[in-house]
Amino acid sequence: MKSTGLAYKPVGWAIGAASGAVAGLLFRKAWTLITDDDDAPDATDEDRSWQEILLAAAMQGALFAVVKAAVDRGGAHLVKHVTGSWPE
């Protein structure tokens, strides 16, 4: 139903913002565990190697994508459970 999709939009935005924060926390934890360094490098960090910067970017991108997909899918299942219709 079209109305289910419209009703899900604001919920999806709120969940998306929260999932971004969660993904950021997960990335910082994972980076610290892997490297024993509290700060992940920025792309313009002169003192960090290309390898370290690209690894950090790849890890961050993968974690954000996985968290977003999991949250989006979970939200869609919740909407279907509540309304009986899958959001579009």
Considering the domain boundaries, does residue 76 fall inside one?
yes
Considering the domain boundaries, does residue 88 fall inside one?
no
Q: What is the pTM of this model?
A: 0.76
Residue 1 has pLDDT above 60, yes or no: no
Total of domains in the chain: 1
Distance between CA atoms of 4 and 71, rounded to whole angstroms? 17
Considering the domain boundaries, does residue 5 fall inside one?
no
Convert the pLDDT of each residue in 50-88 to its tens digit: 999 999 999 999 999 999 899 888 888 888 888 888 887
Residue of 25, 29, 52 lying closest to 41 (CA atoms): 52
Considering the domain boundaries, does residue 62 fall inside one?
yes
Backbone φ and ψ for 42, nearest 5 degrees, come out as: -90, 160
In which domain, by residue range, is 64 found? Answer: 16-38+47-82
Q: How confident is the model at residue 5 (pLDDT cuts 50, 70, 90)?
A: low
Q: How confident is the model at residue 2 (pLDDT cuts 50, 70, 90)?
A: low
Convert the pLDDT of each residue in 31-42 to its tens digit: 999 999 989 999
Residue of 87, 59, 60 lying closest to 73 (CA atoms): 87
- Token pair for residue 42? 């920025």
